[in-house]
Chain A
Amino acid sequence: TKDQVAKDEL
């Protein structure tokens, strides 16, 4: 999902 994409960075 969109959220997951943003949160996979540090």
Chain B
Amino acid sequence: MNIFRLAGDMTHLFSVLVLLLKIHTIKSCAGISLKTQELYAIVFATRYLDIFTNYISLYNTIMKLIFLGSSFSIVWYMRRHKIVRRSYDKDQDTFRHYFLMLPCLILALIINEKFTFREVMWTFSLYLEAVAILPQLVLLQRTRNIDNLTGQYVFLLGAYRAFYILNWIYRYFTEEHFVHWITWISGLVQTLLYADFFYYYFQSWKNNVKLELPA
């Protein structure tokens, strides 16, 4: 494991913790897209199918359990918790997220490294993760008042993707046989989706004003 991978995993972990902190302590999920959270739950469920059959390291297993547990509990909070769900911006969060899943599944059936159930599911999770942030970005754009925690959540997610790209560059030069087009291209697409957000995030930080995305 290199420093970029670790930094990527940690920013990913912090993003989830920030979100859970917001939901659990403030009892609010205002500004958070349930559509994006449901997509992440599906992403982790389909990617970690091998969690108990393919052991890599204790670190990997624990992190997988954290991401699975946190993503499903966030969805539970937003759908079922009697206080939290009242703060959900249902009318603003209208992205038709199920329509993202079908193209990702078809693409995974066509473009994969091996045509097996596990491999297709794993590829599907990569494609879906690449676009899963879209409902959240649309919601951010509609929300006039982006609170700090929501802004930090999306920033940390974007940072996680950026670190993963550095990790792949590092691994490409330090390891043999490390060419994974599917992972790289879907990862790059995913990171580029954050470019616009990053621009406005740094602008607001530099000028010390509240984050607001242009409509």
Contacts and interface: CB of A to CB of B under 8 A. Distances in A.
Contacts of A7: 50, 54, 56, 122
Contacts of B164: 9
Interface SS, A side? helix
Interface residues of B, number: 20
Interface in A1-10: 2-10
B12 interface: yes
Contact of A6 (B63, B67, B183): B183
Interface in B57-83: 57, 60, 63-64, 67
B117 to A, nearest CB: 15
B175 interface: yes
A10 B9 CA distance: 8
Contacts of B175: 5
A6 B68 CA distance: 19
A10 B64 contact: yes
A8 B180 contact: no
Contacts of B63: 10
Nearest to A5: B178
Interface of B: 5, 9, 12, 50, 54, 56-57, 60, 63-64, 67, 113, 122, 164, 167, 175, 177-178, 180, 183
Given A10-B9, A10-B12, A10-B63, 8 more contacts: A5-B177, A5-B178, A5-B180, A6-B180, A6-B183, A7-B122, A9-B164, A10-B67
